[in-house]
Amino acid sequence: MSFEKIHQFNFPTTIRFGANVVKELPAYLKTNNLKAPLIVTDPNVAQLPFFKNIVEDLRKHSIAVEVFSDIHKNPVKSDVYKGTEVWDNTGRDSIIGIGGGAGLDVARAIVLRVHHREDLFKYDDLIGGDVYVTNDVPHFITVPTTSGTGSEVGRSAIISDDDTHQKKILFSPKLMARIVFADPLLTMDIPGPITAATGMDALTHNMEALLAKNYHPLCDGIALEGMKLIHESLERAVNKPDLEARSKMLLGSMMGAIAFQKGLGVVHSLAHPLSSLLDTHHGLANAVNIPYGMEFNIAGFEDKFRRIARTLELPKETGEAVVQYLFDLNTKIKIPHHLRDIGVKEEHIETLADLAFADFAHPNNPKPVSREDFKQLYLKAL
């Protein structure tokens, strides 16, 4: 397959994929009679040359751009309210989310809030709030800049409470982008540590989706192919990036996000509290925890692990071989093996275990996870 060529996929969002595909953005806006987009991104992306080029290109085509980037690394409700104020005060007609998970989550939450003005967390999917998402939403476009969360193809946003740090899920099929411009060239300059952390996040999505207990053979097939693409490209994308490696990572990331509509599991429930309590990068939290979470899941699910091992081309098709592969991969991409190396202390364990047990991801894990299980997993990983 040529990664120089632009391809189109519809699943169900239209995905325009390929090198320089972001240059199609001005023509797309004009075709849809959109002249005043609100671009939502994070403060880091807003400073990067490629982002400034995108904004400049739009302005050259007489498109009146407004940029909102005043958001946290782990987004909170007040970020969404501030962004909605910018929408209200500047007469926008569409929203373009550019970035990784944080920027795209805030963009999607603003898309919801524009025509749904009750308290944002009334729409929390975990309490059935999706039934209140009844109004139209603005035209929404996504442009991913990392290969991690796959938020560009998602239909939910994870936003934390400013005070309690508890994560809420805003969900509705209405929140899917109308079109995704997935340009691997935008991911070429991501530093190695971020490439590593976001890449392991994408791998976690695919692995946990395959293991999740719901029956969804379509997602299983996508998850296996996503794992294969990441297996073929992550180490190179971190240590010696080229267009092929970056393209495969971007595809594998989107596939993980499509697959995990089936559910996630124990690894994400271990990772989420690290972000909310200690502000740990979500991908890094997943990366350190995934070997331990996968080891927990082996017994009773040997057949699933055999399929994973075969996809990863491991000489032994066992769960233990998969766990060793994950430790080895982390070593190759310079991810630490222990939580103590990313700022976790023994005094955090009890609170982390409480938060993990309250988390929304593990009910879809293939086997039940108790609070004591979470405590022991954290201690083992420490």
Q: At what angle do helices 266-278 and 371-381 cross, to 10 degrees?
A: 70
Q: Any idea of the CA torsion for 188, 193, 196, 200, to the nearest 10 degrees?
A: -130
In CATH terms, 7-186 corresponds, of 3.50.50.60, 3.40.50.1970, 3.40.50.2300, 3.40.50.150, to 3.40.50.1970
**Across the strands, what pairs with 140?**
95
Provide the percentage of residues in the chain whose pLDDT is more than 90: 85
Phi first, then psi, for residue 366 (nearest 5°) are -65, -25
pLDDT digits (tens, 9 = 90+) for 30-63: 999 999 999 999 999 999 999 999 999 999 999 9
pTM: 0.92
pLDDT for 64 equals 96
Write the pLDDT tens digit of every residue in 257-275: 999 989 999 999 999 999 8
Give all strands of the β-sheet with 66-68 in edge-to-edge order.
7-10, 14-17, 179-182, 139-144, 94-99, 37-40, 66-68
Tell me: pLDDT of 1 over 70.
no
Superfamily of domain 190-381: Dehydroquinate synthase-like - alpha domain (1.20.1090.10)
Least confident of 46-55, 113-122, 163-172: 163-172
Distance of CA 6 to the CA centre of its chain: 23
**Do 102 and 72 form a contact (C-beta atoms < 8 A)?**
yes
Q: Tell me the torsion sign for CA atoms 333, 147, 36, 159.
A: negative
Taking only the tens place, the pLDDT of each residue in 206-225 is 999 999 998 899 999 999 99
Domain ranges in the chain? 7-186, 190-381
First to last CA, the chain: 42
Q: What is the pLDDT of residues 72-100, one digit of tens each?
A: 988 999 999 999 999 999 999 999 999 98
Q: Identical fold at 7-186 and 190-381?
A: no
Residue 68 is encoded by which pair of tokens?
Answer: 């909102």
Q: Is 119 exposed, middle or buried (0-12, 13-18, 19+ CB in 10 A)?
A: exposed
pLDDT bucket at 3, cuts 50 / 70 / 90: confident
Question: Does 12 sit behind a cis peptide bond, omega within 30 degrees of 0 on the bond before it?
Answer: yes
Chain CA centroid to CA 8, Å: 21
φ, ψ (nearest 5 deg) of residue 146: -130, 165
Q: Is the pLDDT of residue 11 over 90?
A: no
CB 203 within 8 A of CB 312: no
Q: Tell me, rounded to whole angstroms, the distance of Cα 137 from its chain centroid.
A: 22
- CA-to-CA distance for 240 and 245, rounded, in angstroms? 9
Burial of 36 per CB tally in 10 Å (0-12, 13-18, 19+): middle
